[in-house]
Chain A
Amino acid sequence: MNMLLEINSLTKRFGPITAVDNVSFSVERGEVLGFLGPNGAGKSTTMKMATGYLSPTAGDVKVCGYDVQSHPIEVKRRIGYLPEGAPLYGEMTPFSLLNFVSDIRKLSREERKHGMEHAIESLHLQRVLHQPIETLSKGYKRRVGLAQAIIHEPDVLVLDEPTDGLDPNQKHEVRELLERMASTKAIIISTHILEEVDAVCSRAIIISQGRIVADKKPSELEMESVYHNAVGIRLLNENVEKCITVMNEINEVLSVEHVDQSDELIHLVVFPKKGADILTKVNSALDENKLKVAEMYLEKGRLEDVFRDLTLNEGGVGSKGVDPTSGVKEAASHA
Protein backbone atom coordinates (compact mmCIF):
# COMPACT_ATOMS: atom_id res chain seq x y z
CA MET A 1 0.00 0.00 0.00
CA ASN A 2 1.52 3.25 -1.05
CA MET A 3 -1.00 5.81 0.19
CA LEU A 4 0.36 6.19 3.69
CA LEU A 5 -1.65 9.18 4.78
CA GLU A 6 -5.15 10.00 3.62
CA ILE A 7 -7.01 13.03 4.85
CA ASN A 8 -10.67 13.35 3.96
CA SER A 9 -12.78 16.52 4.29
CA LEU A 10 -11.08 17.32 7.55
CA THR A 11 -12.73 20.16 9.46
CA LYS A 12 -11.98 21.63 12.86
CA ARG A 13 -14.00 24.32 14.56
CA PHE A 14 -13.06 26.04 17.78
CA GLY A 15 -16.34 27.60 18.82
CA PRO A 16 -17.27 30.07 16.09
CA ILE A 17 -13.84 29.87 14.43
CA THR A 18 -13.26 27.39 11.66
CA ALA A 19 -9.56 26.63 11.85
CA VAL A 20 -9.50 23.89 9.23
CA ASP A 21 -12.18 23.85 6.59
CA ASN A 22 -12.84 20.73 4.54
CA VAL A 23 -9.23 19.83 3.83
CA SER A 24 -8.51 16.70 1.80
CA PHE A 25 -5.24 15.35 0.50
CA SER A 26 -3.16 12.22 0.60
CA VAL A 27 0.52 11.51 0.71
CA GLU A 28 2.20 8.44 -0.69
CA ARG A 29 5.45 6.75 0.09
CA GLY A 30 8.37 8.69 -1.34
CA GLU A 31 6.62 12.02 -1.24
CA VAL A 32 7.75 15.03 0.75
CA LEU A 33 4.82 17.33 1.14
CA GLY A 34 5.46 20.94 2.02
CA PHE A 35 2.63 22.40 4.01
CA LEU A 36 2.63 26.15 3.53
CA GLY A 37 0.51 28.96 4.75
CA PRO A 38 0.59 32.13 6.79
CA ASN A 39 0.58 31.90 10.57
CA GLY A 40 -2.84 30.83 11.78
CA ALA A 41 -3.85 29.30 8.46
CA GLY A 42 -4.51 25.91 10.05
CA LYS A 43 -1.28 24.05 9.32
CA SER A 44 -0.58 23.01 12.88
CA THR A 45 -4.21 22.21 13.60
CA THR A 46 -4.29 19.89 10.60
CA MET A 47 -1.12 18.19 11.80
CA LYS A 48 -2.50 17.84 15.32
CA MET A 49 -5.54 16.07 13.94
CA ALA A 50 -3.46 13.86 11.65
CA THR A 51 -1.39 12.69 14.61
CA GLY A 52 -4.37 12.10 16.88
CA TYR A 53 -3.72 14.90 19.35
CA LEU A 54 -6.92 16.73 18.45
CA SER A 55 -10.17 15.17 17.32
CA PRO A 56 -11.63 16.58 14.13
CA THR A 57 -15.06 18.22 14.11
CA ALA A 58 -15.74 16.40 10.84
CA GLY A 59 -13.87 14.29 8.33
CA ASP A 60 -11.34 11.55 8.90
CA VAL A 61 -7.66 10.73 8.78
CA LYS A 62 -6.22 7.38 7.78
CA VAL A 63 -2.62 6.42 8.39
CA CYS A 64 -1.49 3.23 6.68
CA GLY A 65 -5.14 2.30 6.40
CA TYR A 66 -5.95 2.84 10.10
CA ASP A 67 -8.47 5.46 11.10
CA VAL A 68 -7.03 7.82 13.69
CA GLN A 69 -10.30 8.04 15.63
CA SER A 70 -11.03 4.33 15.92
CA HIS A 71 -7.44 3.01 16.00
CA PRO A 72 -5.40 5.80 17.59
CA ILE A 73 -2.66 3.52 18.95
CA GLU A 74 -2.05 1.82 15.61
CA VAL A 75 -1.82 5.23 13.97
CA LYS A 76 0.49 6.72 16.58
CA ARG A 77 2.77 3.71 16.31
CA ARG A 78 3.32 4.46 12.63
CA ILE A 79 3.82 8.20 12.89
CA GLY A 80 6.84 10.18 13.93
CA TYR A 81 5.72 13.62 15.02
CA LEU A 82 7.56 16.79 15.83
CA PRO A 83 5.00 19.15 17.38
CA GLU A 84 5.20 22.88 16.86
CA GLY A 85 7.97 24.38 18.96
CA ALA A 86 9.37 20.92 19.75
CA PRO A 87 8.00 20.64 23.30
CA LEU A 88 10.03 18.13 25.31
CA TYR A 89 10.50 17.27 28.97
CA GLY A 90 13.11 19.82 29.98
CA GLU A 91 14.42 17.91 32.97
CA MET A 92 15.30 14.87 30.86
CA THR A 93 18.50 14.50 28.89
CA PRO A 94 18.34 13.71 25.17
CA PHE A 95 19.64 10.25 26.03
CA SER A 96 16.97 9.50 28.63
CA LEU A 97 14.27 10.99 26.42
CA LEU A 98 15.25 8.84 23.45
CA ASN A 99 15.34 5.80 25.69
CA PHE A 100 11.90 6.64 27.04
CA VAL A 101 10.51 6.96 23.51
CA SER A 102 12.18 3.68 22.47
CA ASP A 103 10.62 1.95 25.48
CA ILE A 104 7.16 3.32 24.80
CA ARG A 105 7.49 2.38 21.15
CA LYS A 106 8.56 -1.13 22.13
CA LEU A 107 11.70 -1.16 19.99
CA SER A 108 13.70 -4.36 20.08
CA ARG A 109 17.31 -4.26 21.20
CA GLU A 110 18.48 -4.17 17.59
CA GLU A 111 15.99 -1.51 16.52
CA ARG A 112 16.82 0.63 19.50
CA LYS A 113 20.55 0.40 18.92
CA HIS A 114 20.19 1.22 15.27
CA GLY A 115 17.55 3.91 15.81
CA MET A 116 19.50 5.68 18.54
CA GLU A 117 22.74 5.61 16.59
CA HIS A 118 21.09 6.87 13.45
CA ALA A 119 19.18 9.65 15.19
CA ILE A 120 22.09 10.79 17.34
CA GLU A 121 24.56 10.72 14.47
CA SER A 122 22.48 12.35 11.80
CA LEU A 123 21.34 15.12 14.14
CA HIS A 124 24.73 15.55 15.83
CA LEU A 125 23.53 15.12 19.36
CA GLN A 126 26.63 13.37 20.76
CA ARG A 127 27.92 16.46 22.51
CA VAL A 128 24.73 17.18 24.46
CA LEU A 129 23.51 13.66 25.03
CA HIS A 130 23.69 13.86 28.81
CA GLN A 131 22.73 17.47 29.36
CA PRO A 132 19.23 18.38 30.55
CA ILE A 133 17.16 19.44 27.55
CA GLU A 134 16.08 22.68 29.22
CA THR A 135 19.70 23.86 29.18
CA LEU A 136 20.11 23.29 25.43
CA SER A 137 19.96 25.93 22.71
CA LYS A 138 16.90 26.27 20.53
CA GLY A 139 18.62 24.48 17.66
CA TYR A 140 19.58 21.50 19.81
CA LYS A 141 16.09 21.26 21.27
CA ARG A 142 14.65 21.17 17.79
CA ARG A 143 17.08 18.44 16.80
CA VAL A 144 16.24 16.37 19.86
CA GLY A 145 12.60 16.71 18.84
CA LEU A 146 13.49 15.48 15.37
CA ALA A 147 15.52 12.61 16.81
CA GLN A 148 12.58 11.30 18.84
CA ALA A 149 10.40 11.52 15.75
CA ILE A 150 12.64 9.37 13.56
CA ILE A 151 14.01 6.90 16.09
CA HIS A 152 11.45 4.18 15.27
CA GLU A 153 11.73 4.52 11.47
CA PRO A 154 8.08 5.54 11.09
CA ASP A 155 6.21 5.20 7.82
CA VAL A 156 4.76 8.65 8.18
CA LEU A 157 6.74 11.61 9.40
CA VAL A 158 4.87 14.75 10.42
CA LEU A 159 7.16 17.66 11.18
CA ASP A 160 5.81 21.01 12.26
CA GLU A 161 8.45 23.60 11.36
CA PRO A 162 11.42 21.27 11.65
CA THR A 163 14.07 23.82 10.76
CA ASP A 164 12.78 26.71 12.85
CA GLY A 165 15.60 27.98 15.05
CA LEU A 166 18.36 26.17 13.20
CA ASP A 167 21.31 27.97 11.67
CA PRO A 168 21.86 27.69 7.90
CA ASN A 169 24.26 24.76 8.23
CA GLN A 170 21.90 22.86 10.46
CA LYS A 171 19.00 23.60 8.14
CA HIS A 172 21.00 22.17 5.31
CA GLU A 173 21.75 19.03 7.29
CA VAL A 174 18.14 18.51 8.26
CA ARG A 175 17.10 18.88 4.64
CA GLU A 176 19.67 16.30 3.62
CA LEU A 177 18.38 13.99 6.31
CA LEU A 178 14.84 14.42 5.01
CA GLU A 179 15.97 13.72 1.48
CA ARG A 180 17.71 10.55 2.57
CA MET A 181 14.62 9.31 4.38
CA ALA A 182 12.17 10.42 1.73
CA SER A 183 12.21 7.32 -0.44
CA THR A 184 10.91 5.00 2.28
CA LYS A 185 8.42 7.29 3.99
CA ALA A 186 5.65 9.76 3.50
CA ILE A 187 6.81 13.06 4.96
CA ILE A 188 4.85 16.21 5.69
CA ILE A 189 6.68 19.31 6.79
CA SER A 190 5.10 22.62 7.58
CA THR A 191 7.19 25.66 7.04
CA HIS A 192 7.06 29.26 6.05
CA ILE A 193 10.55 29.22 4.66
CA LEU A 194 9.81 29.01 0.97
CA GLU A 195 13.30 28.11 -0.18
CA GLU A 196 12.87 24.97 1.88
CA VAL A 197 9.98 23.90 -0.30
CA ASP A 198 12.15 24.25 -3.37
CA ALA A 199 14.96 22.38 -1.66
CA VAL A 200 13.20 19.32 -0.27
CA CYS A 201 9.55 19.06 -1.22
CA SER A 202 8.20 17.06 -4.11
CA ARG A 203 4.81 18.66 -3.60
CA ALA A 204 3.46 21.76 -1.95
CA ILE A 205 0.09 22.52 -0.45
CA ILE A 206 -0.73 26.10 0.34
CA ILE A 207 -3.38 26.58 2.96
CA SER A 208 -5.06 29.85 3.76
CA GLN A 209 -7.80 30.48 6.29
CA GLY A 210 -8.20 26.76 6.78
CA ARG A 211 -8.68 25.97 3.10
CA ILE A 212 -6.34 24.48 0.53
CA VAL A 213 -5.68 27.09 -2.14
CA ALA A 214 -3.01 25.21 -4.09
CA ASP A 215 -1.75 21.64 -4.27
CA LYS A 216 1.04 21.33 -6.85
CA LYS A 217 4.67 20.59 -7.45
CA PRO A 218 6.88 23.50 -6.38
CA SER A 219 7.95 23.99 -10.00
CA GLU A 220 4.32 24.23 -11.09
CA LEU A 221 3.65 26.77 -8.41
CA GLU A 222 6.56 28.82 -9.65
CA MET A 223 5.01 28.79 -13.08
CA GLU A 224 2.04 30.63 -11.66
CA SER A 225 4.24 33.48 -10.67
CA VAL A 226 4.26 36.58 -12.89
CA TYR A 227 8.00 36.20 -12.78
CA HIS A 228 7.87 32.83 -14.52
CA ASN A 229 10.04 33.12 -17.68
CA ALA A 230 10.58 36.80 -17.11
CA VAL A 231 13.98 38.05 -18.19
CA GLY A 232 16.05 40.25 -15.97
CA ILE A 233 18.56 42.62 -17.49
CA ARG A 234 21.17 44.87 -15.94
CA LEU A 235 22.64 47.59 -18.13
CA LEU A 236 24.12 51.06 -18.15
CA ASN A 237 21.82 54.00 -17.70
CA GLU A 238 22.45 55.43 -21.18
CA ASN A 239 21.00 52.32 -22.85
CA VAL A 240 17.84 52.04 -20.78
CA GLU A 241 15.50 54.17 -22.90
CA LYS A 242 16.39 52.33 -26.05
CA CYS A 243 16.23 48.94 -24.44
CA ILE A 244 12.70 49.54 -23.14
CA THR A 245 11.53 50.58 -26.62
CA VAL A 246 13.12 47.54 -28.21
CA MET A 247 11.65 45.15 -25.68
CA ASN A 248 8.16 46.56 -26.04
CA GLU A 249 8.38 45.84 -29.76
CA ILE A 250 8.61 42.10 -29.09
CA ASN A 251 5.20 40.49 -29.53
CA GLU A 252 5.19 38.23 -26.48
CA VAL A 253 6.34 40.92 -24.10
CA LEU A 254 3.71 42.15 -21.70
CA SER A 255 5.62 44.91 -20.00
CA VAL A 256 9.05 46.10 -18.97
CA GLU A 257 9.62 47.30 -15.46
CA HIS A 258 12.30 49.26 -13.72
CA VAL A 259 13.31 47.43 -10.60
CA ASP A 260 16.10 49.29 -8.92
CA GLN A 261 19.27 51.18 -9.52
CA SER A 262 21.43 50.40 -6.56
CA ASP A 263 24.66 51.08 -8.48
CA GLU A 264 25.40 52.68 -11.83
CA LEU A 265 23.60 49.76 -13.48
CA ILE A 266 19.88 49.81 -14.08
CA HIS A 267 17.91 46.66 -13.42
CA LEU A 268 15.01 45.94 -15.78
CA VAL A 269 12.62 42.99 -15.76
CA VAL A 270 10.89 42.03 -19.01
CA PHE A 271 7.60 40.22 -18.33
CA PRO A 272 6.29 37.82 -20.95
CA LYS A 273 2.64 37.35 -21.81
CA LYS A 274 1.32 34.23 -20.02
CA GLY A 275 4.59 32.47 -19.40
CA ALA A 276 5.78 32.67 -23.02
CA ASP A 277 9.42 31.85 -23.61
CA ILE A 278 10.98 35.17 -24.55
CA LEU A 279 14.61 34.65 -23.69
CA THR A 280 15.89 33.99 -27.21
CA LYS A 281 13.83 36.84 -28.64
CA VAL A 282 15.07 39.25 -26.01
CA ASN A 283 18.58 38.09 -26.65
CA SER A 284 18.44 38.53 -30.41
CA ALA A 285 16.67 41.89 -30.11
CA LEU A 286 19.48 43.11 -27.88
CA ASP A 287 22.02 41.81 -30.36
CA GLU A 288 20.36 43.43 -33.38
CA ASN A 289 20.27 46.77 -31.67
CA LYS A 290 23.81 46.38 -30.39
CA LEU A 291 22.72 46.96 -26.85
CA LYS A 292 25.39 45.89 -24.38
CA VAL A 293 24.09 44.41 -21.15
CA ALA A 294 26.08 43.66 -18.03
CA GLU A 295 23.90 40.78 -16.97
CA MET A 296 20.93 38.85 -18.23
CA TYR A 297 19.08 36.04 -16.46
CA LEU A 298 15.92 33.99 -16.72
CA GLU A 299 13.46 33.95 -13.82
CA LYS A 300 12.01 30.55 -12.91
CA GLY A 301 9.27 32.23 -10.97
CA ARG A 302 9.06 33.26 -7.38
CA LEU A 303 7.29 31.06 -4.84
CA GLU A 304 7.13 33.94 -2.45
CA ASP A 305 5.18 35.90 -5.01
CA VAL A 306 2.72 33.06 -5.62
CA PHE A 307 2.40 32.47 -1.91
CA ARG A 308 1.51 36.09 -1.33
CA ASP A 309 -1.05 36.12 -4.12
CA LEU A 310 -2.73 32.97 -2.94
CA THR A 311 -2.87 33.82 0.71
CA LEU A 312 -3.58 37.53 0.62
CA ASN A 313 -6.40 37.55 -1.94
CA GLU A 314 -9.46 36.12 -0.26
CA GLY A 315 -10.22 32.82 -1.96
CA GLY A 316 -7.34 33.50 -4.36
CA VAL A 317 -7.41 31.37 -7.50
CA GLY A 318 -3.93 32.06 -8.76
CA SER A 319 -1.91 34.95 -9.97
CA LYS A 320 -3.64 35.34 -13.31
CA GLY A 321 -4.93 38.80 -13.85
CA VAL A 322 -2.77 40.25 -11.12
CA ASP A 323 -1.06 43.43 -12.11
CA PRO A 324 2.59 42.46 -12.54
CA THR A 325 3.76 45.83 -11.38
CA SER A 326 2.40 45.26 -7.90
CA GLY A 327 4.86 42.42 -7.44
CA VAL A 328 7.67 44.42 -8.92
CA LYS A 329 7.13 47.38 -6.70
CA GLU A 330 7.15 45.03 -3.73
CA ALA A 331 10.40 43.53 -4.94
CA ALA A 332 11.83 46.98 -5.44
CA SER A 333 11.00 48.09 -1.97
CA HIS A 334 12.58 44.90 -0.61
CA ALA A 335 15.79 45.46 -2.49
Chain B
Amino acid sequence: MRNIYLIGSRELAAYFTSPVAYVFIVIFLALAGGLTFFFGNWLERGQADLQVFFVYHPYLYLFLIPAVGMRLWAEERKSGTMEFLMTLPISTGQAVIGKFIAAWIFAGIALVLTFPIWVSVNYLGNPDNGIIITAYVGSWLMAGGFLALSSSVSALTKNQVVAFVLAAVLCFVFLMSGVEIVQAFFRAWAPPKFVDAIAELSFLTNFGDLSQGVIDIRDILFFASVIAVALFINTAIVEIKKSA
Protein backbone atom coordinates (compact mmCIF):
# COMPACT_ATOMS: atom_id res chain seq x y z
CA MET B 1 0.00 0.00 0.00
CA ARG B 2 2.76 2.36 0.95
CA ASN B 3 4.56 1.85 -2.34
CA ILE B 4 1.33 2.29 -4.30
CA TYR B 5 0.74 5.55 -2.48
CA LEU B 6 4.31 6.75 -3.13
CA ILE B 7 4.26 5.85 -6.81
CA GLY B 8 0.77 7.28 -7.22
CA SER B 9 1.57 10.60 -5.62
CA ARG B 10 4.77 10.96 -7.63
CA GLU B 11 2.84 10.22 -10.80
CA LEU B 12 0.03 12.63 -9.96
CA ALA B 13 2.55 15.38 -9.23
CA ALA B 14 4.15 14.62 -12.58
CA TYR B 15 0.81 15.23 -14.34
CA PHE B 16 0.60 18.69 -12.91
CA THR B 17 4.13 19.74 -13.73
CA SER B 18 3.42 19.38 -17.44
CA PRO B 19 1.22 21.78 -19.38
CA VAL B 20 -0.56 18.78 -20.87
CA ALA B 21 -2.55 18.42 -17.68
CA TYR B 22 -3.92 21.94 -17.85
CA VAL B 23 -4.59 21.68 -21.56
CA PHE B 24 -6.46 18.46 -20.93
CA ILE B 25 -8.56 19.92 -18.16
CA VAL B 26 -9.44 23.01 -20.18
CA ILE B 27 -10.41 20.94 -23.21
CA PHE B 28 -12.45 18.57 -21.10
CA LEU B 29 -14.33 21.37 -19.42
CA ALA B 30 -14.87 23.28 -22.66
CA LEU B 31 -16.16 20.23 -24.50
CA ALA B 32 -18.29 18.99 -21.65
CA GLY B 33 -19.85 22.43 -21.28
CA GLY B 34 -20.15 23.09 -25.01
CA LEU B 35 -21.84 19.78 -25.75
CA THR B 36 -24.27 20.23 -22.88
CA PHE B 37 -25.31 23.70 -23.86
CA PHE B 38 -25.20 23.63 -27.64
CA PHE B 39 -25.98 20.04 -28.54
CA GLY B 40 -27.90 19.01 -25.47
CA ASN B 41 -29.85 22.30 -25.37
CA TRP B 42 -29.64 22.04 -21.62
CA LEU B 43 -31.19 25.43 -20.94
CA GLU B 44 -33.94 25.09 -23.53
CA ARG B 45 -35.01 21.72 -22.17
CA GLY B 46 -36.25 23.42 -19.07
CA GLN B 47 -35.59 20.39 -16.87
CA ALA B 48 -33.69 20.52 -13.63
CA ASP B 49 -31.36 17.62 -14.26
CA LEU B 50 -27.95 16.91 -15.81
CA GLN B 51 -29.01 14.17 -18.22
CA VAL B 52 -27.67 15.96 -21.27
CA PHE B 53 -24.47 16.72 -19.45
CA PHE B 54 -23.71 13.08 -18.65
CA VAL B 55 -24.94 11.64 -21.90
CA TYR B 56 -21.89 13.00 -23.73
CA HIS B 57 -19.34 11.70 -21.23
CA PRO B 58 -18.77 8.31 -22.91
CA TYR B 59 -17.90 10.03 -26.18
CA LEU B 60 -15.70 12.62 -24.50
CA TYR B 61 -13.83 9.90 -22.67
CA LEU B 62 -13.38 7.94 -25.86
CA PHE B 63 -10.73 10.47 -26.94
CA LEU B 64 -9.72 12.23 -23.78
CA ILE B 65 -9.03 9.24 -21.54
CA PRO B 66 -6.59 7.58 -23.97
CA ALA B 67 -4.82 10.95 -23.99
CA VAL B 68 -4.45 10.76 -20.21
CA GLY B 69 -3.43 7.11 -20.19
CA MET B 70 -1.11 6.98 -23.18
CA ARG B 71 1.87 8.35 -21.33
CA LEU B 72 1.62 6.08 -18.29
CA TRP B 73 4.03 3.40 -19.56
CA ALA B 74 5.01 4.47 -23.06
CA GLU B 75 6.74 7.57 -21.75
CA GLU B 76 8.66 5.62 -19.11
CA ARG B 77 9.81 3.18 -21.73
CA LYS B 78 10.80 5.91 -24.15
CA SER B 79 12.77 8.00 -21.67
CA GLY B 80 14.32 4.99 -19.98
CA THR B 81 12.98 5.94 -16.55
CA MET B 82 11.21 2.60 -16.55
CA GLU B 83 14.58 1.04 -15.84
CA PHE B 84 15.03 3.36 -12.89
CA LEU B 85 11.53 2.71 -11.56
CA MET B 86 11.50 -1.05 -12.05
CA THR B 87 14.86 -1.57 -10.35
CA LEU B 88 13.58 0.07 -7.19
CA PRO B 89 12.35 -2.42 -4.58
CA ILE B 90 8.72 -2.39 -5.71
CA SER B 91 6.61 -5.03 -7.37
CA THR B 92 5.26 -4.64 -10.88
CA GLY B 93 1.73 -4.77 -9.56
CA GLN B 94 2.39 -1.88 -7.19
CA ALA B 95 3.75 0.22 -10.02
CA VAL B 96 0.78 -0.60 -12.26
CA ILE B 97 -1.81 0.18 -9.60
CA GLY B 98 -0.02 3.28 -8.35
CA LYS B 99 0.22 4.76 -11.80
CA PHE B 100 -3.38 3.87 -12.64
CA ILE B 101 -4.71 5.46 -9.47
CA ALA B 102 -2.77 8.65 -10.14
CA ALA B 103 -4.29 8.92 -13.60
CA TRP B 104 -7.72 8.06 -12.26
CA ILE B 105 -7.50 10.74 -9.61
CA PHE B 106 -6.43 13.15 -12.30
CA ALA B 107 -9.51 12.26 -14.35
CA GLY B 108 -11.55 12.67 -11.16
CA ILE B 109 -10.16 16.16 -10.65
CA ALA B 110 -11.19 17.12 -14.17
CA LEU B 111 -14.63 15.73 -13.46
CA VAL B 112 -14.96 17.56 -10.16
CA LEU B 113 -14.07 20.80 -11.91
CA THR B 114 -17.35 20.58 -13.80
CA PHE B 115 -19.07 21.49 -10.52
CA PRO B 116 -20.29 24.88 -11.79
CA ILE B 117 -22.91 23.12 -13.86
CA TRP B 118 -24.09 21.31 -10.77
CA VAL B 119 -24.22 24.59 -8.89
CA SER B 120 -26.14 26.13 -11.77
CA VAL B 121 -28.75 23.43 -11.92
CA ASN B 122 -29.33 23.81 -8.19
CA TYR B 123 -29.62 27.56 -8.61
CA LEU B 124 -32.02 27.33 -11.54
CA GLY B 125 -34.22 24.55 -10.30
CA ASN B 126 -34.68 21.80 -7.82
CA PRO B 127 -32.90 18.73 -9.12
CA ASP B 128 -32.55 15.32 -7.51
CA ASN B 129 -28.99 15.55 -6.25
CA GLY B 130 -28.88 11.83 -5.50
CA ILE B 131 -29.22 11.11 -9.19
CA ILE B 132 -26.52 13.62 -10.00
CA ILE B 133 -24.08 12.17 -7.48
CA THR B 134 -24.74 8.64 -8.75
CA ALA B 135 -24.15 9.83 -12.28
CA TYR B 136 -20.89 11.51 -11.28
CA VAL B 137 -19.70 8.34 -9.58
CA GLY B 138 -20.77 6.31 -12.59
CA SER B 139 -18.93 8.64 -14.91
CA TRP B 140 -15.79 8.37 -12.82
CA LEU B 141 -16.06 4.56 -12.79
CA MET B 142 -16.41 4.57 -16.55
CA ALA B 143 -13.38 6.83 -16.83
CA GLY B 144 -11.51 4.27 -14.71
CA GLY B 145 -12.49 1.50 -17.11
CA PHE B 146 -11.28 3.45 -20.12
CA LEU B 147 -8.15 4.42 -18.26
CA ALA B 148 -7.26 0.87 -17.25
CA LEU B 149 -7.62 -0.19 -20.89
CA SER B 150 -5.46 2.73 -22.02
CA SER B 151 -2.84 1.94 -19.41
CA SER B 152 -2.43 -1.66 -20.59
CA VAL B 153 -2.13 -0.55 -24.19
CA SER B 154 0.43 2.02 -23.15
CA ALA B 155 2.59 -0.75 -21.69
CA LEU B 156 2.84 -2.35 -25.12
CA THR B 157 4.76 0.40 -26.85
CA LYS B 158 7.22 3.20 -26.33
CA ASN B 159 5.37 5.39 -28.80
CA GLN B 160 2.70 7.51 -27.16
CA VAL B 161 0.89 8.17 -30.45
CA VAL B 162 0.57 4.45 -31.10
CA ALA B 163 -0.60 4.00 -27.52
CA PHE B 164 -3.23 6.70 -27.99
CA VAL B 165 -4.62 5.31 -31.24
CA LEU B 166 -4.73 1.71 -30.03
CA ALA B 167 -6.32 2.75 -26.76
CA ALA B 168 -8.95 4.82 -28.55
CA VAL B 169 -9.83 1.87 -30.79
CA LEU B 170 -10.05 -0.48 -27.82
CA CYS B 171 -12.19 1.97 -25.90
CA PHE B 172 -14.41 2.35 -28.95
CA VAL B 173 -14.97 -1.40 -29.10
CA PHE B 174 -15.94 -1.49 -25.44
CA LEU B 175 -18.09 1.59 -25.75
CA MET B 176 -20.04 0.54 -28.79
CA SER B 177 -20.57 -3.15 -28.21
CA GLY B 178 -24.15 -2.46 -27.10
CA VAL B 179 -25.07 -0.30 -30.04
CA GLU B 180 -27.53 -1.62 -32.62
CA ILE B 181 -25.03 -1.67 -35.52
CA VAL B 182 -22.58 -3.83 -33.62
CA GLN B 183 -25.36 -5.98 -32.23
CA ALA B 184 -26.84 -6.52 -35.68
CA PHE B 185 -23.47 -7.68 -36.91
CA PHE B 186 -23.36 -10.39 -34.24
CA ARG B 187 -27.07 -11.23 -34.32
CA ALA B 188 -26.76 -12.41 -37.89
CA TRP B 189 -24.77 -15.45 -36.92
CA ALA B 190 -24.16 -15.70 -33.17
CA PRO B 191 -26.55 -17.30 -30.64
CA PRO B 192 -28.71 -14.75 -28.79
CA LYS B 193 -26.98 -15.43 -25.49
CA PHE B 194 -23.64 -14.49 -26.98
CA VAL B 195 -25.12 -11.34 -28.47
CA ASP B 196 -26.51 -10.40 -25.08
CA ALA B 197 -23.17 -11.09 -23.45
CA ILE B 198 -21.49 -8.72 -25.83
CA ALA B 199 -24.07 -6.09 -25.11
CA GLU B 200 -23.37 -6.55 -21.42
CA LEU B 201 -19.74 -5.62 -22.05
CA SER B 202 -20.75 -2.26 -23.36
CA PHE B 203 -19.68 0.76 -21.37
CA LEU B 204 -22.64 2.61 -22.82
CA THR B 205 -25.16 0.07 -21.52
CA ASN B 206 -23.57 -0.07 -18.10
CA PHE B 207 -23.19 3.66 -17.77
CA GLY B 208 -26.76 4.22 -18.98
CA ASP B 209 -28.38 3.15 -15.72
CA LEU B 210 -25.90 4.91 -13.49
CA SER B 211 -26.24 8.16 -15.39
CA GLN B 212 -29.95 8.10 -14.69
CA GLY B 213 -29.34 7.57 -11.01
CA VAL B 214 -30.10 3.86 -10.94
CA ILE B 215 -27.59 2.18 -8.69
CA ASP B 216 -27.34 -1.31 -10.07
CA ILE B 217 -24.64 -3.28 -8.32
CA ARG B 218 -23.99 -5.15 -11.57
CA ASP B 219 -22.98 -1.93 -13.31
CA ILE B 220 -20.57 -1.06 -10.55
CA LEU B 221 -19.20 -4.59 -10.53
CA PHE B 222 -18.84 -4.41 -14.28
CA PHE B 223 -16.59 -1.37 -14.22
CA ALA B 224 -14.67 -2.71 -11.24
CA SER B 225 -14.02 -5.97 -13.11
CA VAL B 226 -12.97 -4.19 -16.29
CA ILE B 227 -10.46 -2.18 -14.24
CA ALA B 228 -9.20 -5.26 -12.39
CA VAL B 229 -8.83 -7.40 -15.49
CA ALA B 230 -7.21 -4.63 -17.53
CA LEU B 231 -4.70 -3.88 -14.76
CA PHE B 232 -3.94 -7.56 -14.41
CA ILE B 233 -3.20 -7.73 -18.13
CA ASN B 234 -1.19 -4.52 -17.78
CA THR B 235 0.99 -6.15 -15.10
CA ALA B 236 1.42 -9.24 -17.25
CA ILE B 237 2.50 -7.12 -20.23
CA VAL B 238 5.12 -5.32 -18.16
CA GLU B 239 6.40 -8.64 -16.83
CA ILE B 240 6.47 -10.33 -20.22
CA LYS B 241 8.35 -7.41 -21.74
CA LYS B 242 11.09 -8.02 -19.18
CA SER B 243 11.99 -11.33 -20.73
CA ALA B 244 11.43 -10.27 -24.33
Contacts and interface: CB of A to CB of B under 8 A. Distances in A.
Nearest to A15: B244
B6 A54 contact: no
B80 A87 contact: yes
A73 B91 contact: yes
Given A87-B79, A88-B84, A91-B17, A53 B242 contact: yes
B1 to A, nearest CB: 13
A73 B81 CA distance: 18
Interface string A95-112: 000001101111000000
Given A87-B80, A88-B81, A90-B79, A53 B17 contact: no
A79 interface: yes
A31 B112 CA distance: 56
Contacts of A124: none
Contact of A100 (B6, B79, B86): B6
Given A76-B87, A83-B83, A101-B88, A55 B243 contact: yes
B17 to A, nearest CB: 4
B10 A48 contact: no
A77 B89 contact: yes
- Chain A: interface residue count, which band? 20 to 34
B47 interface: no
Contact of A53 (B3, B87, B90): B87
A76 B84 CA distance: 11
Q: Which of B81, B86, B87 has the most CB of A within 10 A?
A: B87
A81 interface: yes
Q: Which of B7, B10, B81, B244 has the most CB of A within 10 A?
A: B10
Given A76-B87, A76-B89, A87-B84, A54 B242 contact: yes
A89 interface: yes
Contacts of A84: 80
B88 A76 contact: yes
Nearest to B80: A87
B242 A89 contact: no
B10 A52 contact: no
B14 interface: yes
B120 interface: no
B6 A83 contact: no
A104 B5 CA distance: 10
B6 A103 contact: yes
Interface in A117-154: 132, 148
A51 B83 CA distance: 10
Contacts of B243: 54-55, 57
Contacts of B84: 83, 87-89, 148
Interface string B145-156: 000000000000
B126 interface: no
B26 to A, nearest CB: 20
Given A54-B243, A55-B242, A89-B81, 8 more contacts: A73-B91, A76-B89, A77-B89, A83-B83, A83-B87, A87-B79, A100-B10, A148-B84
Interface of B: 2-3, 6-7, 10, 14, 17-18, 79-84, 86-91, 242-244
22 contacts: A51-B87, A53-B83, A53-B87, A53-B242, A72-B91, A73-B90, A74-B89, A76-B87, A76-B88, A76-B90, A77-B89, A83-B80, A85-B80, A87-B80, A87-B83, A89-B84, A92-B10, A100-B6, A100-B10, A101-B88, A104-B6, A104-B90
Interface of A: 14, 48, 51-55, 57, 72-74, 76-77, 79, 81, 83-85, 87-92, 100-101, 103-106, 132, 148
